[in-house]
Amino acid sequence: MLGRAVTASLSISVTSPNPLSKSFFGKTTNTHLSSSSENPFFTLSTLSWNISRRSSSRSSRMEKSFTTRASAQPLTNADELIDSVETFIFDCDGVIWKGDKLIDGVPETLDLLRSKGKRLVFVTNNSTKSRKQYGKKFETLGLSVSEEEIFASSFAAAAYLKSINFPKDKKVYVIGEDGILKELELAGIQYLGGPADGDKKIELKPGFLMEHDKDIGAVVVGFDRYFNYYKIQYGTLCIRENPGCLFIATNRDAVTHLTDAQEWAGGGGSMVGALGGSTQREPLVVGKPSTFMMDYLANEFGIQKSQICMVGDRLDTDILFGQNGGCKTLLVLSGVTSLSMLQSPNNSIQPDFYTNKISDFLSLKATTV
């Protein structure tokens, strides 16, 4: 019998006579953001700050609860796990591919799961591409995956802004790459920044004052290979000086797989950390392990979260994402997490199961008694 994971959930409520019940691109959700202000947008920075403070205290409580979880069990009966859920959510980097190289056995594994009638969803914290661009990457690697099955943190940022009815007269300053820009454009949200600011420099002369757009209502920060001091200062000015300006992070990953040869710094976390340091603000994170994407997915596909298995290579994003959402969790050791890291006394996040790679689904059968 498969063990049931202890679940952790984060709820947000702010008392208000005028609750906002929004939808994600036409899909009704049960997530409510409320405010006592006549203009709810201008209280969102305070809301996000309160969210982060409550999340911090809850995170410490969650960490304590995770220390009581049983140690992760090696996956020995793949069929039993497959039969116990309807949907598999896969992280991409370190699970499906590393850099631009497909991990061995992935196509056959996905074919097996589809043949058993399982719904497959692919979720990535990498914000450098849009859903459409990721669709092309899957195709290039020989995988048949539709755009509707892909959820990147670039999309999550745009979906979140859409869900809170981000004002049409406000703009987003982007510290990130093309994926965020394309998703904002598809959502009809004005933006500036991104790679276009990658070559900009600040010449510090006596009395120099840097101007910024007063209509910036949100700063979205993701992985950015063109990160520079100009962007740090511009984003900082917007967050600190524009009333109600939101500070949104696509993720806080410490490293990422830009190539299959090694881990690379700045999965988004280092850029977010720079803005956090200069603004003394905590961001609202829309990627994993935030429950935002899980709630969106469950609503989009009509999935019961108890019928989902989250498969990933990171403990603090993928596995915590699944646990926060009340899902079964499977850690694969083909990415950033090693067996020694999983079993370290300092690690408090334990998945339900672990295995070497997802292609183990092809070979691990029930033990004959």
Mean pLDDT to the nearest integer, 171-182: 97
Strands, DSSP E only, in 86-226?
87-90, 97-98, 101-102, 119-124, 150-152, 171-175, 190-193, 216-221
Structure tokens at 16: 């208000």
Say which of 63, 80, 86, 203 is annotated catalytic: 86
Q: Which residues pair with 257 in a beta bridge?
A: none
**pLDDT for 88:** 98
**pLDDT for 204:** 86
Mean pLDDT to the nearest integer, 319-332: 97
In the residue annotation, 86 being an active-site residue is answered as yes
Query: Quick one: the chain helix, strand, coil %, rounded to 5?
Result: 35, 20, 45
**pLDDT for 255:** 67
pTM for this predicted structure: 0.78
Mean pLDDT to the nearest integer, 64-83: 78
Task: Say yes or no to pLDDT of 76 above 50.
Answer: yes
Does residue 365 come out as left (phi exceeding 0), alpha (psi in the -120 to 50 range) or beta? beta
Average pLDDT, the chain: 82
Is 58 buried (19+), middle (13-18) or exposed (0-12) by CB count in 10 A? middle
- In CATH, what class is 69-125+288-368? alpha beta
**pLDDT for 44:** 38
With bands split at pLDDT 50, 70 and 90, how would you rate the model's confidence at 69?
low
Mean pLDDT to the nearest integer, 113-138: 96
- The owner of tokens 């190539």 is 259
Tens digits of per-residue pLDDT, 279-325? 999 999 999 999 999 999 999 899 999 999 999 999 999 999 999 99
With bands split at pLDDT 50, 70 and 90, how would you rate the model's confidence at 330?
very high
Per DSSP, 87 falls in state E
CATH homologous superfamily of domain 165-286?
HAD superfamily/HAD-like (3.40.50.1000)
CA angle 121, 127, 128 (to 5 degrees): 115
**pLDDT for 63:** 38
Mean pLDDT to the nearest integer, 181-193: 98
**pLDDT for 257:** 62
**pLDDT for 266:** 67
Task: Say yes or no to pLDDT of 163 above 80.
Answer: yes
- Every domain of the chain with CATH number 3.40.50.1000 lies at 69-125+288-368, 165-286
**Among the ranges given (37-46, 215-224, 229-238, 333-342), the one the predictor scored with the smallest mean pLDDT:** 37-46
Are 194 and 215 in contact by the 8 Å Cβ rule? The answer is no
Look at residue 179 and give its three-state secondary structure: helix
The residue ranking higher by pLDDT, 144 or 258, is 144
Tens digits of per-residue pLDDT, 5-21? 333 333 333 333 333 33
Per DSSP, 3 falls in state P
